[in-house]
Structure 1
C-alpha cells in the first residue's frame, strides 16, 4: 500500500467503514441528526451511522420547513461541526446538489473535505421540498444522470458513497421511478433511494429488482405515507438502510413545548426536575471532564 492510499484510508476511515457495513446483509438503522449534540447522542446510543437530514437542519437551525431554504455553505459548516464531534459514518442529505452538475461537483468536494461519508442526491427541481409533500417536480432523467456522473468525478475517494434518490414516483408514476433508478445505477450510483412508494407491493418490486445489485435506502418517517413501519418488514423486502430522519425532533419538540407551557404558567421547573438533566449531567454528557484533563495536560509548565 503506497503512502497516498494509506493517507486516504486514514482520512476517510468513516467512509470505508460505511461501505464495508453496507456490504453485509443486515439492515442498518440510521437516525437523523442536525447538530453536534444530536450527533453525539446517536453515537453514544450505539448506532453505527448518522444521517444529517436536510429537513431537520431546516427545522432545527432555521425554524423553517423542508423547502430548499438551506444553503450549501450552511450545510458544509454543519457537516464540519458534526465530523469534529463524532467518529461514526455520516450520511449527508445534499438535496438537489445546490444547482447544476458543476454546482454538484463543488458541493461534493466541499462536503467530502468537511467529513461526509456518503451523500444523498435527489432529482427534484429547485427549490425542492420534503419528499412526502405534494407539489414536487423533477428534472429530466438525463440531467440527473449527468449530475450523478459529475458527483462521482468530483470525489477524491472512491470510498465516499453516492446515494441516488428519485422523487419521480409521486410525480410521474411508479414505472418512471423504476426506469430512473435503473439509469441512476448504470451511471454509477452506489445506492438507490426510491422515495415514497405507495404500497408494500411497490416496495417488494423495488426490492426484487435492485436489492441484489446495490443497497436500497428507505425513509421511515412518522406521519408520512410510507406503507410499512417495521424494520423487520423492511429488511425482508431487501432494503439495507432504514433512515429515521426526523425521529428525534418529532419526539423532542412536543416535550419542549410541554416544558415551556409549564414554565410560562408556574415560573419554575422544579416539578419537572426528575425528568430533566442538570447542568452537571450535561457537562458530563458533552465531555467536560475530558476537555479539562486535556487542558491540564497542555498547560504551560506541565
Structure 2
C-alpha cells in the first residue's frame, strides 16, 4: 500500500510538472493533494512497517506528538484542498468565461497558502495540550500510530480541554468543508441540468467525476471511523485499529488511481510510452 501511494502520487506530480497542457488550477490543486497524501502516508507507514517487521513498538514522546501533529494538520489541509477543487469545478462549469481570470496562478498560490496556514494553526494546540498533561499511567496505546485521543487518554488528569477542542476542530473543519462542497455541487448540478443536450450534460458532469470519487474516498472512511469510535463500543479492538488505519491509508492510494483512470490528459500521458512501443 505504501509503495502504491508513493508511486501513484509521485507519478501525478511528475506528469503535471512535465506536461505544459496540465499547468492549470485543477491540476495545481491535484498536485497539492498528491503532496498532502505523500506526507500523510509517510507520517504513518514507515513506523507501522517497523512495528510489523522489526517489532519496534516504542516511540519517543516528542516523536509521537510530532507524528500526531503531521497527521492531524495534513488531514485538515487535505479537506481544504477538496473544497478548493470543488470551487474550481464550480467556476469552470457555472462561469467558464471567467475561469482563467478568477483562478489565476497567484490566486491558486494564495488559496494553497491559506489552506496550509489553516491546517497549521488549527492543529497547533493539540500537541501543546497533550504535552501539558501529567502522565502517570501505562504508556501503551492500542494503535499503530499516535492517534490523538488514544495518547491523551493516558494522562492522569481531566483531559476535557483536549477532547472538546479536538471535537470542535473536527466539526468546524469537516462541517464547513462538506457544506461548501455541497453548495458548490448544488450550483454545478443546476447548471448541468440547464444544458440543452444530454451529451453536453454527461460530458460536463464527467469533468467532476474524478473529484466526486476522491471526495467519497476521503470522507466515507473518515465518517465510518468516527462512527466506530463513537458507537462501536462492542466492536473488537483490532477492528477499531484497522478502521483507524484505513481512514488514513485509503485516500493516498485511491486518489492517484482515480485521477489516473478518469482524467484523459493524465491517462494519455501515462500510456504514451506504451503507445510509442506499440507503433
Give the TM-score band, short-chain normalised: under 0.3
Q: Which has the higher strand share?
A: 1
Q: Which has the higher helix share?
A: 2
Structure number with the bigger relative contact order (C-alpha 8 A, sep ≥ 6) is 2
TM-score, L = length of structure 2: 0.27
